[in-house]
Structure 1
Amino acid sequence: MRWLRIEKGYSDGYARRVLGVGKSALNRAWKRGEIAQVPFVELPKGGEAYPHYASREQIVRLLNTDMPEHIWAYFLVRLCTACRGDAARDLQVFQLDRSARLVRLNPPGRAQTKKYRPTVPLLPALAAYVDQMKPASYVVNWHGRRVASIKTSWRKIRVRAALPVWFVPKTMRHTLATWLRQRGVPAWEVSGLLGHHAAGTTDVYAKFDPKYLGEARAALAAIIEDLARDVPKLRDLLADGVSVGSVAATNDNGKTPEGLAVTPLRVVGGTGFEPVTPTMSR
């Protein structure tokens, strides 16, 4: 710890992360029978939460910066879902449930970890982007293949966008969480959107409730619509989103084959298109 703090100049939070990796490796080796015993590794207390969040002007500048298409898709996914970077890079087209208007960030067969991947609302901008992208399994892809990392491209983009050194890709997630709370979205909805708590057995079915994360959905869509006023690519996606507002096939009674009523998009004041939610109808 002294070496990490004094010689390397790391914060307690980063030192905890380094020691945690070593501790996990030792435990894994013991579990596999590669070593006879494991020393006790005491981790330091967790550091302060990531303190930075971006301004609207910085996010607009980032989204308007010239960047490769797969990087644009990466930030669009993170903007529309508030997910972590690995979940954005792992996202496949089949994980978008059009009939339920949901994005299942954790694909079938993948075990959940401490960094829980929740099911979140599918917003019109992301649905429209996937509709117009070239056929591929992954939403964020390089010539159809999954993107392993964006680090090299990110360094160039950050400089090109004139963003501060502390602005890293995860700043998008922290910024959205901050903006949602500033808009009065309940803490439990923000927590659910970010995957800060795992769902119980009963909660497995909660996502099929039409009001599921309703306030978070409405606020996040409003944030995207506000940004779209100064981000042409977002504005174009929202315009295309009108055609995908009814995301489920319906019968003559306006219901899906499962009997669920379909909620179309509507124009909300001067902000653009937004799914009608219980919050907005009040």
Structure 2
Amino acid sequence: MHVMEAYLNGHATTIRSEGQALRAVDLVVEYLKTVKQVSAPLSFWTPSRQLDFAGWLHRTHQHGAATIERVINVLGAAMNDAAAVKMRLDAIGQPVEGAIVSHVPKIVYQGERIAKELKLPPPKKGGYVPTMVEMATFIDALETPHLRRWVIMALNTWARPEAITDFTPAAQYDRRLGAIDLNPPGRVQNDKRRPALPITRGLADWIDHWQAEDLARFEQRYGRRPNEEIPLLVYKLKRVGTVKKAVKRIADEAGVPELTQYSTRRFMATMVRKLCPFVTRERRSMWLGHVVEEGSSTTDHYEGFAVEALEEVAIATDFVISELQKLTKTKLFAIEVRLNAAELRRIGANPKSKKALLDNGLNGGRCRVRTCDPSRVKGVLYR
């Protein structure tokens, strides 16, 4: 119990998933009370106890393998944190360097093993990916301006939710280079790497439109120009810190309950792969901020950022959003973006009719992708 309390008061307060950590700790405590082991030492968590805890989570709370894995991972994180040597507060509140324990049990049950032992469906890899129709339905259900702005930024950047709510154009948008840096000044890169990207034409137009709109509204309300930049995402006169609950509520009401604040990221990566076959996996990975295993791990440091390296992904992003626009009433472009034949050839894209998109004709059978064919060559690519 002391270890869990130390974790909640320490490291857990610094992570975005603090709410999940709090819930996981509550479940651990509830389980320990059920088995009458509230004061159990860390050695209590043997592999057999971990499996018993997993079974209890499924029986008592109907959790699936993925949720059980997340709860057990929090338990493991708390134990590992207790064994880490770092600055802590002692019994009288004085900072001391040390660890709470010297050794901790190893967490041995992960998603697939949990599913196998408990005879549950295995966790889906990669998570839920909405269809074009589902994403359009969700977008049209958004009513407040800040959520519409959020989803447009999410579609154009494929960024994680926190990177979007943190984004400040004055510090992160270089109009001269036509690039945005999703990592704000002062933030140290971590495992959730935030890349620098060429800005899409759609997002560049929106930022200009939003800033002009916000400036006009401010001057009308206060009779003067603002002293500092107005945040792009504002709700009830306060900067938006998270959209998690709002997205979940609206997705449920719109009939797409599996859609979350992360779904736009998976949606865009998947649709670019399906609709723009000439955009390589390496380029998609770079856009997502994933580490690409090519050459030295310090290559990025020496090469710097080249906008042209990810130009194809930016073009493909504008293309996918233009296809999505065929299914939505909500404006996805401040100024209509039309890709020319050369750009469509470059990414291997072929615009679809609204009917084809409604029929979800992206899956099944042998996938034949027709390239744009202004010369009537009728070339067909197979993949």
Shared fold (TM-score, shorter chain, > 0.5): yes
Structure 2 partner of 1:196: 290
Q: TM-score, normalised by structure 1?
A: 0.76
2:181 and 2:76 mapped to 1: Cα distance? 31
Q: How does 1:193-232 map to 2 (within 5 A)?
A: 193-197=287-291, 200-204=297-301, 206=303, 208-231=305-328
Whole-Å Cα distance in 2 between the matches of residues 22 and 126 of structure 1?
41
Do the aligned partners of 1:211 and 1:278 also contact (CA within 8 Å) in 2? no
Aligned partners of 2:134 and 2:256 also within 8 Å: no
**Preserved contact between residue 83 and residue 194 of structure 1 (Cα < 8 Å):** yes
What residue number does 1:279 align with? 346
1:50-199 superposed matches below 5 A: 50-93=126-169, 94-133=171-210, 134=214, 136-142=229-235, 145-160=238-253, 162-182=254-274, 183-184=276-277, 185-197=279-291
Offset of residue 156 of structure 1: 3.9
CA contact (8 A) 1:125 1:237 kept: yes
Given that residues 168 and 231 in structure 2 are in contact (C-alpha distance below 8 angstroms), is that contact kept between their aligned partners in structure 1? yes
1:107–1:66 Cα change, 3 Å: closer
Cα 1:49/1:235, change in 2 over 3 Å:
closer
* Paired residues of 2:69 and 2:109 also in contact (CA < 8 A): yes
Higher mean alpha-carbon deviation, 28-37 vs 187-196, is at: 28-37
Structure 2 vs 1, CA of residues 115 and 10 (structure 1 numbering), >3 Å: closer, same or farther? farther
- 1:237 lines up with 2:334 in the alignment: yes
Unaligned stretches of 5+ residues in structure 1: 242-265
- Aligned pair in 2 of structure 1 residues 92, 41: CA closer, same or farther (>3 Å)? farther
Corresponding residue to 1:40 among 85, 92, 105: 105
In the TM superposition, what is the alpha-carbon distance from 1:4 to its structure 2 partner? 2.7
Match of residue 73, structure 2, among 12, 15, 20: 20
Identity fraction in percent: 24
Cα separation, 1, equivalents of 2:146 and 2:156: 15
User: For the structure 1 residues 157 and 23, does the alpha-carbon distance in structure 2 shift closer, same or farther, using more than 3 Å as the test?
Assistant: same
Between the aligned partners of 1:232 and 1:2, the Cα distance in structure 2 is 46
Q: For the Cα contact (< 8 Å) 2:248–2:261, is it kept in 1?
A: no
How many Å separate the matches in 2 of 1:104 and 1:55?
29
In the alignment, structure 2 segments of 5+ residues that lack a partner are: 1-53, 87-97, 112-122, 216-228, 349-371, 373-383
Do the aligned partners of residues 226 and 117 (structure 1) sit closer, same or farther apart at CA in structure 2, a change above 3 Å counting?
same
Q: Is the radius of gyration larger for structure 1 or structure 2?
A: 2
Task: Report the AA paired with residue 65 of structure 2.
Answer: D
